[in-house]
Amino acid sequence: MATSAPAGRRAAVVVNPSKRTDVDIRALTAQVFREEGWEEPLWLETTVEDPGHGQARKALEEQVDLVIAAGGDGTVRCVAAELAGTDTPMGLLPLGTGNLLARNLDIGVDDPAQAVRAALTGTERRIDVVHVTVDEAVDSDIFLVMAGLGYDAGMMADTRDELKDRIGWLAYVDAGIRNLPGKPVRTTISIDGGKPIQRRLRSVMGGNCGKITGGLEIFPGARIDDGLLDILTLAPKGRLGWIGVVAGLLRRGKGKGTAVEYFQCKRAEVWADSPLEFEMDGDHLGEATHILFEMDPNALRIRMPYGKKDPAVLTNPEP
């Protein structure tokens, strides 16, 4: 209610202007801000050259009380990279398709007014962030949902944009089927600095939460606030090897064979003998031969709607 809201609260909205919406999202946002007694938001649009990092840094310089990432998982990831480790909370205004983080946290993906209201007045929880260093780069990057080296990333790269706009996540399934044939790559994995494991893999995925889309749980038991990184490896053998992978996924990695393996850890390192496509939260980031994943527990404050959360996502579903 406007009367009980603290006066002079300021927020920045980092918005991806390329996401088409049925309503005037800026006017709608301003309306909810007024209703909740917040000042007019600082409106910062992303560009192809700077998809959110610079805008989030600007918001932090302005010492706002909250930064809302308005866009898809890519915008959320760039804003979160700057907010992680600070005390400034992030809200989400999901636009476009995908929005996996929002879906995991029960933030409305088709009700923008409700999403903005949850960002301004909702409960605040801390979630884990996974730092990723690609090919021993100086700067690390982060992801919130999942990252993939190999098949999964090739699938993201191959997903046709126009199809993605039309049918959303089904487009990824279409790309997945077209990507099925291909050669595995000799890969070495070290989990928490342990003895290196060698496998001929099609894909290594790192997960921070379990739900991927339409109820599909790629990382069973993964939670976004448990301080653990989930790793999934896919190693089909031979022409019909994907049958073994599907069977392994259905058995959730239990049983004989190494077609599907799951690991939980705080740190994982992957070396591939030849370059593989790499993807984080749906953003295709080119090829890589070395990836270092490092868990940063409870590094990000997130605003989400009040109410019980899915115990498959948060360790403590009731705040």
Q: Which of 296, 92, 292, 130 is nearest to 208 (CA)?
A: 130
113-121, 142-150, 168-176, 218-226 -> range binding Mg ion (CB under 5 A): 218-226
Distances (CA, A) of 145 to 130, 219, 234: 9, 10, 18
Where are the alpha helices (H) located in the chain, listed in sequence order? 25-35, 53-61, 73-83, 100-104, 112-121, 151-158, 161-167, 170-178, 241-250
CB nearer to Mg ion: pick between 117 and 301:
301
Length in residues, the chain: 319
106-114, 140-148, 215-223, 234-242 -> range binding Mg ion (CB under 5 A): 215-223
Name the minimum Å distance from CB 224 to Mg ion.
Answer: 6
15-23, 170-178, 185-193, 219-227 -> range binding Mg ion (CB under 5 A): 219-227
Name the minimum Å distance from CB 169 to Mg ion.
Answer: 22
CB nearer to Mg ion: pick between 152 and 226:
226
Extended beta strands in the chain, E state: 11-15, 42-45, 66-71, 90-94, 123-134, 141-143, 146-150, 185-191, 197-201, 203-207, 211-213, 216-217, 229-234, 260-265, 267-280, 283-304
Name the minimum Å distance from CB 259 to Mg ion.
Answer: 23
CB nearer to Mg ion: pick between 206 and 236:
206
CB nearer to Mg ion: pick between 229 and 292:
229
Name the minimum Å distance from CB 209 to Mg ion.
Answer: 7
Pairing, β 267-280 against β 185-191: antiparallel
Site for Mg ion in 222-251 (CB under 5 A): 223, 226, 228
CB nearer to Mg ion: pick between 84 and 259:
84
Residues that bind Mg ion (CB under 5 A): 223, 226, 228
